[in-house]
Structure 1
């Protein structure tokens, strides 16, 4: 890998190889492209590539396959097969964090119990999530860390390290962003899901129409 100077203060790396190594600097996988969507705590080894739809497999130098859960694949598989297939109030509550944070003008971010929030906003939630079943709906999924300035209370502590940084390498936040049907409107609907030990949980919502209660 060569260090290329762009100007007096900035540089970038060009060429070289990427490997996956263990804690003893032993090479496990050659030509291993960096991917921050891989859950490195989910390693499984096998003689054949893992067939799970949420895993990625890589051939190791020892001839065996190393597979890892891909957060993006995991979330989309869960979302399509667990949440979207059952948009009942009970299922939404089951797959929601105990508290849901939502944006409301002019108050800003508001904390609500999941039962209260879903009961008050179920019609909106179901309507917007139903839209995602339509292939013509314009939306995308992005990855973030938990915002330490919004999620400050004790129930979120396990999702941050000692420096109050989001532990997104194991507990990422997946955001579904729905673009408006009217392209002249720049506001979007946001649904955020936190990966927890019990699976993905709805944790934050913001509405383009500011119609949350």
Structure 2
């Protein structure tokens, strides 16, 4: 069978959790997934498996979750079964419900269609003032304000269209008290920032891997840029170790297990890194890295994701958020892709090596080699 091109940018829903709390309830489903409920960490049923929803609610129920049922009724549900904020559930552009982060969850005002935040008890703590608002990470959130809302569809009411588009406006950074921190921030840069690396100083000191923004109070807010950090780590740490052909050092730069596709068995295989990293594997890695360095036009790097059907054991628990998606704001993943072309520059096949940030730094965790 032909070698398959595997791009690790694909689907990322998850099976396991972000830092799950003991008080969290866990979503459970019936045999065909048509009904859901929740159980506690000990397996006790807290909400019977009889909820029928249009959109899947969060995998973990901390204090508050959104519900959107088959009759288009939507609301937020507390653990005491109280329903609040009727017809105000926030749904993302990719049709995903929000989940509680840092004791906050987004809601959408049913009249203005703008976004605000509820606290864990369902009380409004940030009014619906924003055209868009990202979740809070480290008590900071990126928001869009004063933009004009239009529709992708022609002749549709801009407040009720399925695919809204925002033009103009200002992208800002606010804190959890709804106070303005940075008046204008580049959205493209903001998507790559490690919000947990915040450093505040009176002067703007240029630092490797960091970007800074001047706050409204005159201080400079500095964050690690994940893209810069990963590139520097790859070329200045990973590549030298590979070229040294040190099995022991390469194991230290690898995740506890390495995942690859088995063409013979037609399955993804997860093996301990010590079972994979031998002299033969190292030589393969040396050749791939050398080709990558010598053929920059035929190689590229990109942010990556995890596939829940592959990365589903307990080793990956910490990498997922409350919705079961990759917690990329804390544990980003990256892949390097190598394109092999024929004499006509047509793609013959592609190989890749993927990395994920852990508490101990970036680690190699997946590879896809033809030979």
Normalised to the residue count of structure 2, the TM-score between the two structures is 0.54
Deviation at 1:137, TM superposition (A): 5.2
Q: Secondary structure at the match of 2:205?
A: coil
Q: Which 4+ runs in 1 deviate beyond 4 A?
A: none
1:43-74 alpha-carbon deviations (Å, 9 max, x no partner): 00112223221010111111111010111000
1:103 is matched with which residue? 261
Give yes or no for contact 2:341–2:349 (8 Å, CA) kept in 1.
Answer: no
Q: Which has the higher contact order (CA 8 A, sep 6+)?
A: 2
CA distance in 2, matches of 1:56, 1:117: 37
CA distance in 2, matches of 1:177, 1:135: 11
CA distance in 2, matches of 1:193, 1:85: 16
2:368 is matched with which residue? 206
Aligned equivalent of 2:313, options 140, 150, 153: 153
Give yes or no for contact 2:198–2:221 (8 Å, CA) kept in 1.
Answer: yes
Give the stretch that moved more between structures: 83-92 or 99-108.
83-92
Aligned equivalent of 1:23, options 163, 166, 176: 176
Give yes or no for contact 2:197–2:223 (8 Å, CA) kept in 1.
Answer: yes
CA distance in 1, matches of 2:322, 2:179: 29
CA distance in 1, matches of 2:293, 2:248: 19
CA RMSD of aligned residues (A): 1.6
Correspondence 1:141 to 2:301: yes
Correspondence 1:191 to 2:346: no
Aligned equivalent of 1:51, options 206, 225, 230: 206
Correspondence 1:90 to 2:258: no
Correspondence 1:33 to 2:195: no
1:179 is matched with which residue? 339
1:79 is matched with which residue? 234
1:114 is matched with which residue? 273
Correspondence 1:129 to 2:284: no
Deviation at 1:160, TM superposition (A): 1.3
Name which one, 1 or 2, has greater alpha-carbon Rg: 2
Give yes or no for contact 1:146–1:168 (8 Å, CA) kept in 2.
Answer: no
CA distance in 1, matches of 2:348, 2:213: 41
Give yes or no for contact 2:338–2:351 (8 Å, CA) kept in 1.
Answer: yes
Q: Secondary structure at the match of 1:61?
A: coil
Q: What stretches of structure 1 of length at least 5 have no aligned partner?
A: none
Normalised to the residue count of structure 1, the TM-score between the two structures is 0.91
